[in-house]
Every structure is written in C-alpha cells, then in structure tokens.
Structure 1
Amino acid sequence: MSKQALPVVDPQACCPPLATRPLDAAQAAEIAPMFRALGDPVRLRLMSMIASVPEICVCDLTSAFDLSGPTISHHLKVLREAGLVSSERRGTWVWYQVKPEAFRQLGSLLEIATPAGS
C-alpha cells in the first residue's frame, strides 16, 4: 500500500448523486479515498464497529481482531485520513467516533431516485 497521505474530503462541497450527472475528475479524486478506505475488509469491519456506537476505545477494537495493535492502528489511520472517523486521545487510549457528515455525503452520492410510478 502506498504511504502517501489520503486527502480529507470536505463533506459539504463534493458531489451530486451519481445518477444525477457524472462526476468530473476533481470530484472523483476527492471522493475516491473514502471508498478506497472502505474497500478493505478489516477497515470495513472497523468502520461498522465504530459507527454502531457513539464512540469506541481502540482497546475494544484491537481485542476484536486477530491482528497486532500496530496493524489495527494503521487501518484506523487510513479511516481517519479519509475523513470517515475522528479520534480523541484520553490518557493512554484513543477513542474513535464516526463522522456522520462523511457518511451522509457517501449516501447522497449513491442515492438513486425511484422513477415515478414505481
């Protein structure tokens, strides 16, 4: 995996639903890191764990996987850099929260209008 940092997406500014009109190159480049971050099974599972509660400690996330702490930290960093989660250090532990605006953006991007009469 590349060591380049993923840009953080501005959830207010990006993209209309795909079914409305095609994305231009800049819009696609802006939103792709979010999908790239969610494209890994471990990160997708981490994301579902984080999103299912108001906040969660990294200690609870690490214990749910048969992976090393540094590997989990790497996956959490990718989610954070993609703008999908935020984190706050409290003492020894880091607590994670989902960024609802990022998921609203992804949801609206994937929204397909139902044709009238369907």
Structure 2
Amino acid sequence: MKEQERNLLLEKKQALLHEIRQSTDIFKALADPVRQDILMMFMIAKRMNVAQVVEQSHLSRPAISHHLKVLKQAGILDSLKQKTEIYYSLTLESSVIDQLKAIIRAAEDISNDPAKAFEEHE
C-alpha cells in the first residue's frame, strides 16, 4: 500500500476516534437500561416532570432526578421550568443526532476505503 493511502486511512481512523470521543456523554447516557426506559417514556409522553417519571418507574425520586440530569447533560433531554415544576422533553437536537451520524459516516468511510483491503492483507 502506498504511503499516501496509508496516511489517508490513518486520518480517517483518527477522525472516527475523534467523533466517538466527542460522543462519550451520549453513549454513557444511553448505555444504562434505566435511562433507556426513561427515553422510551419520553417517546410516548413527549413531556414529563420528575414525579410523572417516578410514577412509571420503580426508582426513587432522587434516582430518577439523577438519570434525567445525565440525559440532559448528554443533550438528549431538555428542561423547562414552569412555576415550581421542571418539565423534561426529548430535545432531538440536531447536535446529538448529527454526532451519531458523523460516527456512522466516519466508520463507513473507513469500511469503504479501498486502502483498507490492502491493509488487511499485509
């Protein structure tokens, strides 16, 4: 394999690693089964406060608050304070979706790179 092709493939692999590292908070947030269940609740209800999430869960209010905070920090949930209540909803921000798409694009770019075939045979 030519040095230039090898360097280009290495750059693509570094780009993928960068995208993955940029998305660590998203992956951590989505890795927990409780947060996955909470995410599914928001797919149905669209908007809920902590008490409404607690009603649908076996966990305590502090535990649910923690999980909601993690999802919010990852950019998956957004919050809006109305009087004394905080309501959460899915952000479906383009930034979160764009990050995940960038990882897929970078992985596909490596997978489809003709230089990769030569690398496997060396």
TM-score by length of 2: 0.64
Q: Which has the higher helix share?
A: 2
User: Which amino acid in 2 is paired with 1:74?
Assistant: H
Aligned with residue 48 of structure 1, among 32, 35, 40: 40
**d(CA) in 2 for partners of 1:102 and 1:46?**
20
Q: CA deviation at 1:92?
A: 2.5
1:102/1:53 Cα in 2 relative to 1: closer, same or farther (>3 Å)? Answer: farther
Q: How many aligned positions are there?
A: 94
- Structure 1 consecutive aligned stretches of length 4 or more whose deviation exceeds 6 Å: none
**d(CA) in 2 for partners of 1:110 and 1:25?**
11
Unaligned runs of 5+ in 2: 1-11, 109-122
**d(CA) in 2 for partners of 1:75 and 1:86?**
13
User: Which amino acid in 2 is paired with 1:43?
Assistant: R
**d(CA) in 2 for partners of 1:73 and 1:39?**
17
Kindly, what percent of the aligned residue pairs are identical? 27
SS across alignment from 1:95: strand
Q: Quick check: 1:59–1:93 contact (8 Å CA) kept in 2?
A: no
Q: CA RMSD in A?
A: 2.5
Specify the structure having the higher radius of gyration (Cα): 2
Answering whether residue 97 of structure 2 is matched by residue 104 of structure 1, we say yes
Q: Quick check: 1:84–1:102 contact (8 Å CA) kept in 2?
A: no
Aligned with residue 58 of structure 1, among 46, 50, 74: 50
Unaligned runs of 5+ in 1: 1-20, 113-118
**d(CA) in 1 for partners of 2:44 and 2:22?**
26
Q: Which is worse superposed, 59-68 or 46-55? A: 46-55
User: Which amino acid in 1 is paired with 2:24?
Assistant: A
Q: Quick check: 2:78–2:88 contact (8 Å CA) kept in 1?
A: yes
Instruction: Give the aligned partner of residue 119 of structure 2.
Output: none
**d(CA) in 2 for partners of 1:102 and 1:35?**
14
